[in-house]
Amino acid sequence: MADQERRNYLLLIKCGGDTPVRNRVAESIPLLKEILEQVSGEDLQFTTSSDDAGTMAFLFASTLPAGAILARLKSPGRPGATFPVGSPLAREDSVLVAEIGDDFAAENLGRALVWMQRH
């Protein structure tokens, strides 16, 4: 991928572990949002979450490849990074960072669908 080519991504997170989901989400969302805003240049849209908030999704555009985005989410406090120490992810979380191309179909996604149509 060219260094400056912006691509659209879907980030899907399913919270795992023993910490109650509501507590995890309350603790994780501020740092998760900060990291995603930095990798996307604030071109970010919260998509959806499950009823218990244990599974959530975001849409964003970035010049970084998916693997680099996942690495930043896992280790935002590495030397030279501008992020605070700590990760919004827990070891037991399931995480998907996937590129979304021009061909997609969606239903009942509200603002997320508008975001996808405009990108």
Contact 25, 46 (CB under 8 A): no
What the chain holds in terms of domains, given with CATH numbers, is: 7-118 (3.30.70.1060)
Contacts of residue 5, defined as CB under 8 A and 6 or more positions apart, other chains included, come to 63
Q: What is the mean pLDDT of residues 48-70?
A: 87
**Mean pLDDT within 28-53:** 84
| Mode of pairing for the β-strands spanning 55-62 and 94-100 | unpaired
pLDDT of residue 30 exceeding 60, the answer is: yes
89-114 pLDDT, tens per residue? 888 889 999 998 887 777 777 777 77
The phi, psi pair for 3, rounded to 5°, reads -60, -40
Backbone angles phi, psi at 67, to 5 degrees: -60, -40
Q: pLDDT for 61-74, tens place per residue?
A: 999 999 999 998 98
pLDDT at position 31: 86
Please give the C-alpha separations between residue 82 and each of 38, 39, 44, 64, 77, in angstroms, as whole numbers: 9, 11, 19, 16, 7
Q: What pLDDT shows up at residue 67?
A: 94
What is the per-residue pLDDT for 119? Answer: 72
**51 neighbors 76 (Cβ within 8 angstroms):** no
* pLDDT at residue 77, as a whole number: 67
How confident is the prediction for the chain on average, in pLDDT? 81
Please give the Cα distance from 44 to 61 (Å, whole number). 7
